């Protein structure tokens, strides 16, 4: 008998995280069909990533963010049962993701990738040159792509793997283009988002665009998929949009 999948708790999760999961089958089907188990695991992963990211953003001090990230990693490893930084409701929301990794045997590489996300995110906050800033954005997105691929547990091919690494490396740049002013006002960026800042980010997207186009054969679908992320209010794409 097939074990019933645990429903994903999307309460409080930002729209763009839900959209990533909802849209993934439409672009992934160009390479491979994703079954219900994989989609459920990805839902738990993206929901947990948003909860962790949201908690991290509330911390104004770098050492506090590092300590929080380490506490999450230790708890996910199962080497730390309690920490003042992690309340019971928060850790309860991460249990499905911890269970998925333990069942699949992906805990160690998954958390190694999570640590790279944390490190790149902190480097992005502290970057004082655009080159370092953009490198940190891309590293953050590609490490997050590695987390998603690990959760998929081999249910992908080389084309989908390349696509996810490319699109998520670009996606973090696009997110910054949309959110930079607010991020700066909240003290999440060192660099001032002026004309030069935005020009460099746009150029970074343009430079990486050809590589993304090369790994995705359906140009019209790719265009609609990318365009839909330029509006935070955008709903998940419907099959007819493809």
Distance of CA 23 to the CA centre of its chain: 14
Residues in the chain: 242
DSSP run (H or E) holding 133 = helix 130-152
- For 164-192, write each residue's pLDDT tens digit: 999 999 999 999 999 999 999 998 999 99
Contact 242, 224 (CB under 8 A): yes
The ranges assigned to domains in the chain are: 16-241
Contact 63, 118 (CB under 8 A): no
Tokens 């992690």 — which residue? 86
Number of helices (H), then strands (E), belonging to the chain: the values are: 9, 0
Say which residues have a Cβ less than 8 Å from residue 33's Cβ, sequence separation at least 6. Answer: 25
83: confidence class by pLDDT, cuts 50, 70, 90: confident
Q: Which fold has domain 16-241?
A: Farnesyl Diphosphate Synthase (1.10.600)
- For 28-75, write each residue's pLDDT tens digit: 989 988 899 999 999 999 999 999 999 999 998 999 999 999 999 999
Of residues 103 and 233, more confidence is placed in: 103
Tokens 């800042």 — which residue? 197
DSSP for residue 191? S
Listing DSSP states for 19-35 in one string gives HHHHHHHHHHTTT----
Instruction: Report pLDDT for 238.
Output: 58
Contact 170, 209 (CB under 8 A): yes
């Amino acid at each position: 008998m097939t074990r019933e999948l645990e429903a994903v708790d999307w309460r409080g999760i930002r729209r763009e995280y839900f959209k990533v999961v909802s849209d993934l089958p439409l672009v992934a089907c160009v390479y491979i069909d994703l079954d219900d188990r994989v989609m459920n695991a990805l839902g738990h992963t993206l929901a947990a990533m948003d909860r962790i990211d949201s908690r991290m953003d509330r911390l104004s001090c770098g050492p506090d963010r590092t300590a929080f990230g380490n506490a999450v990693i230790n708890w996910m490893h199962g080497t730390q049962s309690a920490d003042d930084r992690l309340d019971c409701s928060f850790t309860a929301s991460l249990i499905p993701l911890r269970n998925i990794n333990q069942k699949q045997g992906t805990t160690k590489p998954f958390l190694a990738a999570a640590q790279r996300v944390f490190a790149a995110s902190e480097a992005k906050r502290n970057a004082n040159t655009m080159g370092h800033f953009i490198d940190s954005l891309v590293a953050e997105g590609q490490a997050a792509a590695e987390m998603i691929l690990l959760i998929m547990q081999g249910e992908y091919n080389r084309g989908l793997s390349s696509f996810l690494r490319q699109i998520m490396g670009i996606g973090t740049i696009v997110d910054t283009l949309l959110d930079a002013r607010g991020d700066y006002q909240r003290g999440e960026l060192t660099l001032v988002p002026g004309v030069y800042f935005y020009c460099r980010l746009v150029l970074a997207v343009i430079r990486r665009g050809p590589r993304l186009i090369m790994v995705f054969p359906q140009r019209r679908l790719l265009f609609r998929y990318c365009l839909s992320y330029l509006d935070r209010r955008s709903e998940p794409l419907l099959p007819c949009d493809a």
